[in-house]
Structure 1
C-alpha cells in the first residue's frame, strides 16, 4: 500500500510545484532593462513590457513614482501600433516624482503569450544616487480582459546615477582660466 501512495504523492507534489511556477509567471508588467547605470546628465529610456497574460489583455493604466532629486521624467510614448484605441502618455509631475495615468487599450490583439511593449519612458539623470522606478495600477482604468479586472505582478526598475557629469565646463570657467593665463604671461614679461 505504501508503494502506491508514494507515486501519487510525488505526482501531486509535481503538479503543485508546476502550477505555482506557472502562476508566478502570469500577468507580469516590468521594465526593460530592469536596472541601469548612468552618468549625471544622461538621458535614457526604459520600455514598459507585459508578458504571460494567459487570458489576454485589453488594456489598463499605470502610475510611476521615482526620486525626483535623482531623476526627472522627460517623455512618455505609448506603443500606438499595439494600443490603437487608447494611448495616453499620462501626466508628468517632476516635483512630486511621479507620472500618473499612462493609459492604453486595444481591441482584437491576442496578447496571451510572449512579451509586448506597452510604453517607453524617457528620463534625465539630474542627481547622484539610486532611484527605484515603482509601478502601480491606476484604479481609474485597471488592467482588464474581456470585461474582467486583472491584477498583474509589477516589477520595479533600479537606476544608479554616478556623479560624473558629461556636461561641459561653463563659459565662466574658461574665462577665468584664460584670465589667469594672461596674468601669468604679464607677470613673466615684467621680470
Structure 2
C-alpha cells in the first residue's frame, strides 16, 4: 500500500483498544469520525472520498500500513501511554494528536508531529490541513519521528514509570523559596507510609 500523491492517508483512532464493534470503515459503530465531525452533505462526501479508514490491523500488517501513511491522526484525549502514537512514530510517520495524556510525552510539536486542543474538531482539521499542504514539513517530521521514540521499549518505559512513583513516594515537594504552599507537605504526608513519624 503506497501513499498517493493526491491524498494524505490517515488512520482514525478513537482512543479505544480495539474492543468496540467496528463498522465497515474501521470506525466504532455509530461514531462519526471526529476529523469529519460537523461536515455534512457534499463537504462530508468529498472528505470521505479522500480518507482511508483501515480498521483493526495487527502484527506485520499493522507495521506495513503505518509505514505507508503520510500522517497518523490520533483523536483519543484520554490515553495514558498511547501505544498507537508510539507505533506510528516508530514507523517514521508524523503524528497529529490531542495535547493531553500520553501524546504530550511523545509528540514534539513541529519536530515529529503536531498537537491540537483535544475536543476541538476545527483545531484537528487545521493541524491535519497544515501537514497535508506541506510535504517538505511532513518529510522533515518523518525523519525525526523514528528517532524520537528510539529507546522507548517496554522495559525502559516501565523503569521510568517506577522512577516517577518512587519520586512521588519519597520526595519532599518544595516551592522555589522552600515554602509550604497551602500545606502541601501535610496533605502529601497523609497517604505516605511515613506519615505517622512526621
TM range (shorter): under 0.3
The answer to which structure, 1 or 2, has the higher relative contact order (CA under 8 A, 6+ apart) is 1
Give the TM-score, by structure 2 length.
0.24
Higher helix share: 2
User: Which structure is larger by alpha-carbon Rg, 1 or 2?
Assistant: 1
